[in-house]
Each structure stands twice: as C-alpha cells, then as structure tokens.
Amino acid sequence: MDITKIHTPVMLERTVELLSPAIGEPGAVLVDATLGLGGHTEAFLSRFPNLTVVGLDRDPEALKLAGERLSPFGERAKLVHCVYDEIQDALQSLGYEEAQGILFDLGVSSMQLDQASRGFAYSKDAPLDMRMDGTAELTAETVLADYSEAELRRIFWEYGEERLASRYAKRIVQERAETRLTSSAQFVDLIQKATPAAISRQGHPAKRVFQALRIEVNQELVALERAIPAAIAALALGGRMVVLSYQSLEDRIVKRALAAASTSSSPAGLPVELPEHQAKLRLVVRGAELASDDEKASNPRSTPVRLRAAERVRAA
C-alpha cells in the first residue's frame, strides 16, 4: 500500500505555521495525538531537524504503516499504541514531562475510510465493525444487536444529531427480532427503507447513523472530553496546541475546553487578579479557521474541517 497516495494531510501548511514558534528549538517534542498514516508527522520531522515527535494512535495497523513511513527518521519518531486521552502517560513512559507542541487531527482516518473491510463507510459493503482499534471488544454489530431501543435512540440523536433517531431505533429492534444485522449493506438497506422519500432526497440517510455508531463504538467524544484538558496539562509554557475537528460535536468540545482555559477564573470585583486565577492559555486564532477554497478543491476531506489553536501562557 502506497500510503502517500491515500493520505493528504489537512491544512498542513497552516498547522506548521501555527506550531513552528514553539517547536523549533533543540530538544523540542511534538505530540501527534492522532498519528494515522503519519502525514503530518513526516512533514514536521522533515522541516524541523531537531524535533522529536511522539505519535499516538489506537489503531495497530496505522501504527505499523506509519512506522514504516517514518523509519528514515529513526529515534526522532516515537510511536505509542494508546487512545489520545492517555497523552500524559504516553509522554511519561518515554521520559518526557511535557511537550512543546500538540496536534490533534480528529475523526476517522483516511485509511479507515478507504479500507472497506473496516466497515466505516456506508457506501461500501463490509462487516459491521467500525473499530479504530481492532483489539477492542465492542463492534457496531454488537451495538445494533444488544443495545435497547432507548439506547440506540440516544446515540443516534446525541452523536449523529439524527432527527429520525426514534424511527430508526424502532426499526432496528423490529428487524433484529427476525435476523441479526451483520453487514453495512444490510444495515443501509434497513435505514433507506425506514426513511421517508422526501428526506432521502436531502442526502444519504445513513450518513448520520454511521457517524453515531462509529463514535459509540470507539467512545470518541468521551475520550475527547478527557483528552483536551490532559493535553493542556501536558503543554509546556510557551507551547502550542492545534486541533482539527470535522464535525460540530467534536468542535463544540474543543471550543468549550479552550475557552475555559483561556479565561480568567478570578472572582468578579477583585482589585488584583491572583496568579492562580490567570488564564492558562491564549487563543492563537480567532474562532475556528476553515480550509482555503483551493485546499477544499484539491483535498475534499478538508471541506468540513475547523481549526482551533492556543498557546500555554501560565505554567501551573
């Protein structure tokens, strides 16, 4: 597999521009918290000869492929099999107390989408798997077989923002009483039959449901809720963090965490702000930045991206 042909890093130049003030000095450490196929990491290691990158990923196959891609950089690329909310443990296991840069490129990776056998894409028939880490126990098939109607309704609504959550949950429970749902084509067919024609014309009806299943199987939002505060805690004074989000649920979590850390907690009315109440972060970009029109045209996966960035300005 030529991974350079299936993976084009999103907003690479802007990411390099934002992180470069923090990672240019000898001994600097950058955490690529979502290593994937290593496109961002390869670029950073190439451009910053004194940089070490700690690459995290829950997907053993991604780690293997990225490891092959990054092998020319030797010990400057250190890869760890873990979920990104374990960022502090990963750093400490390698002897680092903090990082000068942290990058999150959230969501499902190019490889996971492009490999039909993983079951992430509703357009390709495959087993209902959706695990980012193939060693994990929970699969999409298990969710559809074992979750109650109320639980299915909740995840479709909360994680897919799906208006027909109740309708789909009810239909799944009815269907599984007759036969187990085991393939994406079988599940897509069920969703399409349960969707009013007028709504089907507005876009593929399975899109939001597949997103919700993937998030539930991998506990993505639960991990992200823990990961951003953990990353802030691991960031060195003067260090920078960049986060690329691809859907509103992710971006909302990131926005809330960065806003809280960049706001003073000092009680109103105090004449002097105490050091322990000062903001930990300074926001580096205003709001969320989007990919340029040129990048969207050349790399369609950049179309929904929202970039946020911050710098650590208080040590503790």
Report whether 112 belongs to an annotated binding site. Answer: yes
Dihedral pair phi/psi, residue 240, rounded to 5°: -125, 150
Tell whether residue 105 is among the known ligand binding residues: yes
C-alpha to C-alpha distances, 276 to 25, 52, 142, 266, 301, nearest whole angstrom: 28, 31, 47, 8, 41
Q: What is the four-CA torsion angle of 81, 82, 87, 89, rounded to 10 degrees?
A: -80
Determine if residue 39 is labeled as part of a ligand binding site: yes
**Residues 119 and 50 sit within 8 Å (Cβ to Cβ):** no
> In angstroms, rounded to a whole number, what is the distance separating the alpha carbons of residues 162 and 208?
6
Instruction: Count Cα neighbours of 104 within 13 Å in the Cβ-side half-sphere.
Output: 31
Tell me, rounded to whole angstroms, the distance of Cα 304 from its chain centroid. Answer: 13
Q: Which residues pair with 309 in a beta bridge?
A: 242
38 is in an annotated binding site: yes
Q: Which of 279, 299, 307 is nearest to 39 (CA)?
A: 299
96 in a known ligand binding site: no
| 40 assigned to a ligand binding site | yes
203 is in an annotated binding site: no
Binding-site positions for S-adenosyl-L-methionine read 38-40, 57, 84, 105, 112
Binding-site positions read 38-40, 57, 84, 105, 112
